Amino acid sequence: MDNNDTIFTDLVPKETEASKLQAVLSSSIDFAIDIMNIVLSIKFSPLPDLLRAMGGESVAFLIGMLLLVTLYRFIFLVFFNKTIGMMITRIKLLNGNLKPLSTLEKLTSIYRTRFSKIKYYKDK
């Protein structure tokens, strides 16, 4: 036992929860990237023309944009455990046990972290 260790050392959390400002800034950066992805896909993709030709423009287009946003977040969370906004603001997502997220938790965190036990924590 070191001089700094006490019987309460294990009770002190090793992770510090990120500030609301960091979480909002991270979400804002990711939102800007989502908008940029949508604009670029509209500008350079033949998808809108194909949808117009098929007659299902509005619903199919909205579903496609939702899939684009979901795909961006899911790919970054699965391969890097962070989105670009989280990398810039130096935060990470951890579950209620302060462990890295499982694939299912990553999928649910794409849409909402407020109603789950997943929270933003400062990255060291």
The whole-number pLDDT of residue 119 equals: 83
The letter for the amino acid at 33 is: I
Output the DSSP codes for 33-67.
Answer: HHHHHHHHHHHH-SHHHHHHHHT-HHHHHHHHHHH
Strands 119-122 and 91-94, bridge-based pairing: antiparallel
Minimum mean pLDDT range among 2-11, 18-27, 38-47, 103-112: 2-11
pTM of the model: 0.74
Taking the domains of the chain in order of start, what are their residue ranges?
14-122
